[in-house]
Amino acid sequence: MTESQERKQSRWKRLLMGMAVALVVLIGLEMGMRLVYGPPPPPVLVSTGLQDHDQYLVEENGMITAAYQAAAPTAPFSKTYDGTRLLFMGGSVVHMQQFRGQTSKEFANVAGRLLGVESVNLGAPAMDSFDLVRIVEELEGVDHTHMVVYTGHNDFGNAYFQERFSGLSGGILARMRRVLEHSQTYCRLRRAISTVPKARFGEWNREGFTPQRREATLNYLRSNLERLLWIAKKRNVQMVLATPVTSLLRRPINDVCIGEQCSHDLWQQGKGLGRADPVLSAKKMRKAHDIDWNSLRAPTIAVEMIREFARDNSVPLIDVEAQLNREPGLNVPQDRLFMDLVHFDQNGHQVVGELIAQQFKTLGLIQ
C-alpha cells in the first residue's frame, strides 16, 4: 500500500469514527430527553381552539378555576382532595352551554353521581388533544385519581377550520418527516424555532383535507395521547379513554366524491336499506361519513386508532361508540340520543353517564 493510500484510508477511518461518536452522542441525547420529557410531542405548534390565556387553570385560596371555560363554567374545585376524584377532559361533547346551564345533566356529572365520587368537568367547546396536553400539564399538584379523556372530533374539526398542516406534501420528504417525528430531539428543536400560527376561526373559506393533512392529524392525536398517558403515569393517575361517537343516521355535512362514490348518495343508499340489510346499511352510512373528510368529526380510522392505543398501552377503554344504545334493527348509535351529528341531547348525556359509570365498575376502576 502506498503512502497516499494509507493517508486516504486513515482519513476514512477518522471520518467513520467521528460519525460513530456523533451517533452515540445523539442517541444518548435522545434517550436522556425521553427520560426527562417523555415521548416526543407533535413537532408543530398549533393555534389553540380555546381563547388565549396566560394560564388555563387559576388557583386562588386553594381553589382551582378553569379560566378557559367561557360557557357555563364548572364551579371552582379544591386543589387538594382526599378520595376518588374523576376529571373529565374533552370538547363541547363533554361540556358546553346547554340544558340552560345545568351542567349537572352532563355525562361527566351523571357518572360521578352514580359512582358516588367527586367528578370535575374540565371540557370546553373547541378543545382538542393539543389543548388537553396544555391543561393537563397545569394540573400538576391538583389531587385527582382518574382522568377520563373523550377526544377526537375537534382534532379534525380544528385542523379543517384552522387549515393546520397545510404545507404538508407527499413523497420522500413526507416519509422522512414521519421517521424524524419519532425523535424527541427533532420535535423539540422544530417546536423551538416555530411560531404559533394565527387562529382562523370565523373565516369560512377552507381548502379541503389532503391525505397528508389527514394523516398528520391522526398521528399528532396519537402523539398527544402518548403525552397524556406519560403525564398520568408520572403522577400515578389512572387515565381512561372513551371513543368519540357520531350519529351515522344524520346526513354527512358535505357531499364529497371519491371516484364514483359520493358521500350523500352512499349515505342515502345505506339509510334506504335499513332493516332489510342492517349490516350493509350501517357499512354504507359509516363509509359515507368517512368519505367526507371535512365533516368536523373523528373518522372511523381515528376511533380505531384510539382503540388500538388503549389496547397496546393497557389503558382502560370505555368504547362508547360500540357500546352506546343501538338504533332498533341497525348496528349504529341510536339517533335519538343526539342533538346533532356529534353532540348528545339531555337523554344522551344521561345514557352515556350511565354507560361510563357501569364500565368503571365492570373494569374495576373504582374500589
CA-nearest of 269, 290, 291 to 281 is 269
CA 183 to chain centre: 20
Report the percentage of the chain scoring pLDDT > 70: 75
Query: Are 131 and 162 in contact, with CB atoms under 8 Å apart?
Result: no
- CA 321/CA 243 separation, integer angstroms: 6
User: Who wins on pLDDT, 175 or 81?
Assistant: 81
Asked if residue 12 has pLDDT above 70, the reply is: no
- CA 132/CA 232 separation, integer angstroms: 12
Cell of 16: 467513520
34-43, 157-166, 208-217, 293-302, range with greatest mean pLDDT: 293-302
CA distances from 362 to 115, 237, 238, 365 (A): 12, 19, 15, 8
Residues 6+ apart with CB under 8 A from 169: 212
Asked if residue 14 has pLDDT above 60, the reply is: yes
Look over the chain and give the mean of its residue pLDDT values, rounded to a whole number: 84
Lowest mean pLDDT among 39-53, 231-245, 280-294: 39-53
Q: Which residue has the cell 385542523?
A: 159
Instruction: Please state the rounded mean pLDDT for residues 19-34.
Output: 50
CA triple 192-194-200, angle to 5 deg: 140
Query: Where in the chain are the domains?
Result: 1-37, 57-254+292-362
Superfamily for domain range 57-254+292-362: SGNH hydrolase (3.40.50.1110)
Instruction: Please state the rounded mean pLDDT for residues 288-316.
Output: 95
Asked if residue 323 has pLDDT above 70, the reply is: yes
pLDDT of residue 54: 80
Instruction: Please state the rounded mean pLDDT for residues 177-189.
Output: 55
Asked if residue 230 has pLDDT above 80, the reply is: yes
pLDDT of residue 25: 47
Model confidence band, residue 195 (pLDDT cutoffs 50, 70, 90): low
Asked if residue 20 has pLDDT above 90, the reply is: no
Report the predicted TM-score, pTM, of the whole model to 2 decimal places.
Answer: 0.84
Lowest mean pLDDT among 147-151, 193-197, 212-216, 359-363: 193-197
User: Who wins on pLDDT, 257 or 63?
Assistant: 63
Lowest mean pLDDT among 13-17, 67-71, 309-313: 13-17
- CA 223/CA 207 separation, integer angstroms: 25
